[in-house]
Structure formats: structure tokens, C-alpha cells
A and B are shown apart, each in its own frame.
Chain A
């Protein structure tokens, strides 16, 4: 990541506010619903809260019950950003859908980024090659989050003069719009 070509980032950084607007406030994203979740999801992360995240993410309702749901909630309480290795403690069912799990992590922590294939393509345009995946691989998802974190650090002030979402969402959403252009 330290070898990133900084010249490739500049055109993206100049367009972050516009790209964010395109994606986050676009018809497919339900920005008001996103804002509601920022407030409504809190400890101890009940099954109902996870349902609301699934709903916003457009995922089928989760089928985690009993012990499995308990382990998922424990995981969400225990994990600390930017760690992703704790994903290895989950069984195959829980890690089978990276989008769903990244949604849980994003709304329970406000730091982890939502996995979006368009955002992954946006990262590729900037020189961050993150492999496609449908399962929550700790190394792939870790690299995805770390790339967005690095962009956040390198971005100049004009990328985010004002916004009403966590910065990870600002950049992930802008990357999604950027990725769709490719």
C-alpha cells in the first residue's frame, strides 16, 4: 500500500463530494434509512437490530438463531477496529456473506466499511487490487478496510469539507460511484 501511485488518487479526491452524493443520495441507497440506522443500532445489538440492517442492505432476513445468533452478537461486541482476524472465530455459515457481515460491522462500529463490489472496483481504479469474494475472508476484508482507511488519511481537506456520515461511509460510497464508471 505504501507504493500507491499518489497521482492516481488526485482526480478521485477532487470528486469525492460529488461521487458521494451520486451514490449515497442516489435512488438505490435510502440515505434517510442509513441515517436512522446510525442512531438505532446500539449495544447489545439485538436480533431485531440486525434485521433492520439486513433490510437496509437489501439482504434476505438472516436465519441466525439461538447459539449462532449469540456467537454473532458476541463477535460484534468483541471485535475492535481495525482488527479483522476475529472473523476466523466465526463458523462457515456466519462468514458466508461478506456484504451482510460488513453491514453488521459498519452499523455497530461506524468504522468498518460496507463491502460493495463497486467500491472494490473503485479501489482497483486507484491501484488497490482487492480480489472479489463473497465470503468474509479476514485478509481480503482487512485489505479492503485498510485501503479505505488509507484514502481517508491521504485525502485533502476539500474531499470532505462537510458530510453527515462516518468518513468510512463517505469514501466507500464515493468509491462505489467511481467504480461504476469503470
Chain B
């Protein structure tokens, strides 16, 4: 049962952060007038946040509501780090995507993308609010840093600006095919991260996740439906789509972090971040392989979505397949190794590997053909209602 609280008054340090936020919007190229009557709000769902710590070494104790209740500085630092990384991704995605608004295939897609960008900014607000309200000078500084970095994927970026923290959020989203892949694969990772924080021992963080997850479901739905609409339209060949999927699956898998992660283990010990299915599973946690477990659930979910996508294929189009979780990885035990799409080890020299990658990832030729596809009815039409 959900009873949401919308915060009505802000402390001065968060008010000061808002002034900086407005400057950030202009700097990164997001016109505030696009927001229309949308208002950023700080929302909490206290009911779903839980009263007692649900896992880890503090299990059974009351959840922490204020900084001074958190028993160790190392736990405070871990919470600040989690909130900062989450906030960083929220603003980064707006930086990556806003330039696409002017080339939306339909009004429905333009408004959907705009809604996503509004809500991602709200999520960033929520994280900045937690930092400014609960973590003193350290938190205020981290909240400001959220506005100082700028995604390397943002066409409106000055030299010397620091990049965003995670790889996927520095990738350029050059076109609407990338946009749908991003919302399908990367926002789906976002769902995982938010749900893992929804059981957090720091109650304001856990209570922030409910409203954010409600909004996030629209974001990944936009991606999943968008890709199916592309497949149904049948203008972009499945072979091209496959190469874009190959690109985004590996980066999505990397977002779960390293294998045998000690920081994930500590976050679990502290009760700060749980497993994706923490409340549903009765299995004891394998604390040494937390990232791997979440990554595999995510991978399975992608495979299920891929089956749905394939059902929409036109006759004669090749089946779209999931690349192996070993392919093209930059983080985890498969990084720095060479595997082909089906997970078999690659045999060949550096030149052969480069040639192989060029054949299975989006090529310059693919990019050159996209405008031609986009000039046709490349995505199933959907009307914006209301």
C-alpha cells in the first residue's frame, strides 16, 4: 500500500543547488521551456521502504532515517557513493538524448522522450535532495558535482568538462535507433539498480525508489515497444538492428560492475543495497557474487524480451539473437578477452579481431544508411493521445 509524500519546502542548501541546476539545463542544451507545466517534485513512498533493515549484518534493526543514526563513517560513504552514482546517470541520460527531440519520428515519440527526460531530471533532483538534506557539506559537494560533469555523449559539451561516471552514459546516442536501444537496455538496468536500492537500510533512499520505479517503467516500456515497432515496420533490416543490439547489450551488462565485487559485498553487509529479488527470494545471498547474480537475472530478462521482439519479425527477416554475455565486455571476468557472439573464444590475430568487431557492431555503412531508413515509415506509427 503506497502513501506518497511530496516535499513542500526545501532547505537553503538544496534551494541553492536548484539555482545551479537551472544553469546546468542551459549549459547542456536542454531548453527549460520544453518542460511546459511539468514541475519537479521530491517524492517519498514510506510504506514500501520498510521499517527494519532487511539483510546484511544489521538485519532486524530499525532502518536509518538520519545520517547520525548510521553507525559507521564507511557506511555513510557507501550511501553517498550509491546516491551520487545514481544521480549521475539520471542527468547523463538527458545530456545524451535531448538533441534527438527535433528529429522524432512521431509526435508520440517526441513527447514520450520528453517525458522520459523530465522524469530522469526529477530522479536526479531526488538524489541531489538526499545528498543536500542528509549528508552535510560532503553531500552538498557531491550534489554539485552531479551538475559539473557532462556526458561525453552530449553534442553540447565543452572541452575540459569531466565525463559521467559510467561507460554507457558517455556513449553518444546519435539517432532514434540508439535511443530505443538505450531505453530498452540501459533504462532496464536502471530498473535493476533502483529495485536493489528499494530495500536499502537508509530509509530516505529506499523510500525514494518507489516513485522513481513507477516512472521508470514507462521508460523501459518506451524502449521495448519502440524496438518491437521498428521490427514490425520492417524497414530497418534485422541484421542492422542486430548490430545495434550487440553494441548495447554488452554495455548494459557492464553496468552491473565487476565480478566478485567487494564494494557490492560491503553494500550488502551494510544493508545499503540488496539483490534485485531481495524480498521475493528465499535463497541465501551469495555475497561474493552479488553483481553476477543480478547481471544474470537481467540477461534472462533481455532474452525473454528478445523472444517477444522476434515474434514481430516480417517473413524472411533473420532471427534476432542475444549476444553471449562474454561478448565485447569491458568490465568483469570476460573483459580483456575475445569472444564471438555465441560465446566461443575468438581465434585470430588483432587485425582479424578488429575485422570481426566491425562486422558485428554498427558500421559506418550502417550509420550512412540510417537517414535513408528514417525517411521511410521505419517505425510503426502511434498517435499521441490527450
Q: Which A residues contact B (CB, under 8 angstroms)?
A: 6-7, 9-10, 13, 38-39, 41-43, 80-81, 108-111, 154-158, 160-164
Name the contact of A156 in the complex, choosing from B47, B191, B224, B383 (C-beta under 8 A): B47
**For window 126-184 of chain B, which residues contact chain A by CB distance below 8 Å?**
none
Tell me whether B380 and A162 are in contact (CB under 8 A): no
* Chain A nearest Cβ from B386, distance in angstroms: 6
A162 and B1 contacting across the interface, CB-CB below 8 Å:
no
Segment with Cβ contacts to A, from B29-37, B90-98, B208-216: B208-216
Given A38-B382, A156-B45, A157-B198, verify A163-B1 contact (CB < 8 Å): no
B74 proximity list for chain A (CB < 8 A): none
Query: What 0/1 readout, one digit per residue, does chain B (209-233) give for beta carbons within 8 Å of chain A?
Result: 1111110010011001100010000
With A10-B1, A163-B221, A164-B224 as contacts: A157 and B210 at CB distance below 8 Å: yes
Check if B381 is an interface residue, CB within 8 A of chain A. yes
Output the nearest chain A residue to B213 by Cβ-Cβ distance.
A157
Q: How far is the CB of B163 from chain A (nearest CB, A)?
A: 30
Among the listed B1, B198, B229, which residue makes an inter-chain contact with A154, where contact means beta carbons less than 8 Å apart? Answer: B1
Closest chain A residue to B188 by CB distance?
Answer: A162
The reply on B262 being an interface residue by CB < 8 A is no
Interface size class of B (residues with CB under 8 A): 20 to 34
Q: Which residues of A contact B122 (CB under 8 A)?
A: none
With contacts A162-B217, A162-B221 known, is A157 near B382, CB below 8 A? no
B39 in contact (CB, < 8 A): no
Asked if A158 and B217 make an inter-chain contact with CB atoms under 8 angstroms apart, the answer reads no
Given contacts A109-B386, A161-B191, A162-B220, contact A156 B381 (CB under 8 A): no
Is the C-beta of B3 less than 8 angstroms from some C-beta in chain A? Answer: yes
Q: Chain B 359-386 against A: per-residue CB contact (8 Å), 1 yes, 0 no?
A: 0000000000000000000001111011
Q: Which residue of A lies closest to B225 (CB)?
A: A164
Contact B385 A158 (CB under 8 A): no
Determine the distance from Cα of A9 to Cα of B2 in the docked complex, in whole angstroms: 10
Q: B224: which A residues are within 8 A, CB to CB?
A: 162, 164
Residues of A within 8 A of B217 (CB): 157, 160-163
CB of B281 to closest CB in A, whole Å:
14
B382 and A39 form a contact (CB under 8 A):
yes
Interface string of B1-27 (1 = CB under 8 A from A): 111000000000000000000000000
Rounded to whole angstroms, the CA-CA distance of A149 and B96 in the bound complex is 33
Q: A42 with B2: in contact, given A163-B217, A164-B221, A164-B225 (CB under 8 Å)?
A: no
B306 vs chain A, min Cβ distance (A): 15
CB contacts (< 8 Å) of A163 on chain B: these are 217, 221
Given A7-B1, A109-B386, A156:B210 Cβ within 8 A: yes
How many A-B contacts if CB must be within 8 Å?
64
Pairwise interchain contact B386-A154, C-beta atoms closer than 8 A:
no
Pairwise interchain contact B385-A109, C-beta atoms closer than 8 A: yes
In the complex, chain A residues whose CB is within 8 Å of the CB of B191? 161-162
CB within 8 Å of A: which B22-73 residues: 45, 47-48
Given A39-B382, A158-B48: 17 more A-B contacts, CB < 8 Å:
A6-B1, A6-B3, A7-B1, A42-B381, A109-B385, A109-B386, A111-B385, A155-B2, A157-B48, A157-B210, A157-B211, A157-B213, A157-B214, A161-B195, A162-B191, A162-B217, A163-B217
Cα–Cα, bound, A162→B276 (Å): 14
Minimal beta-carbon separation of A122 from chain B (angstroms): 17
Q: A156-B210, A161-B195 are in contact. Are A111 and B386 (CB under 8 A)?
A: yes
Q: Which A residues lie within 8 Å of B210 (CB)?
A: 156-157
Task: Name 27 interchain pairs, CB-CB below 8 A, sorted by A.
Answer: A6-B1, A6-B3, A9-B1, A38-B382, A39-B380, A43-B383, A110-B386, A111-B386, A154-B2, A155-B214, A156-B47, A156-B48, A156-B210, A157-B209, A157-B214, A158-B48, A160-B214, A160-B217, A161-B191, A161-B195, A161-B213, A162-B191, A162-B220, A162-B221, A162-B224, A164-B221, A164-B225
Chain A residue at minimum C-beta to C-beta distance from B381: A39
**Bound: A118/B349 CA distance, A:** 65
**CA distance in complex: A6, B191 (Å):** 26
Question: How many angstroms from the CA of A53 to the CA of B224 in the assembled complex?
Answer: 24
Q: Pick the contact of A42: B3, B48, B383 (CB < 8 A).
A: B383
Most chain B CB within 10 A, of A80, A158, A160, is at: A158
Smallest beta-carbon distance B91→chain A, Å: 22
Q: Chain A nearest CB: distance from B277 CB in Å? A: 11
Chain A residues with CB under 8 Å of B385's CB are 108-111
B312 to chain A, nearest CB (A): 10
Most buried by A among B3, B210, B211, B217: B217
**Are B1 and A156 touching (Cβ within 8 A)?**
yes
| Residues of chain B in range 324-369 having any CB-CB distance to chain A below 8 Å | none
Taking the closest CB of chain A, its distance from the CB of B77, in whole angstroms, is 27
The 6 A-B pairs at the shortest CB distance, nearest first, are namely A157-B213, A42-B383, A156-B2, A110-B385, A10-B1, A157-B210
Considering the chains assembled together, what is the distance between the CA atoms of A38 and B381 in angstroms? 10
Which chain A residues lie closer than 8 Å to B383 at the CB level?
Answer: 41-43
Query: Across the interface, do A13 and B386 meet the contact criterion of CB distance under 8 Å?
Result: no
Q: Which residues of B contact A154 (CB under 8 A)?
A: 1-3
With a CB–CB cut-off of 8 A, which chain A residues contact B212? 157
CA distance in complex: A110, B212 (Å):
22
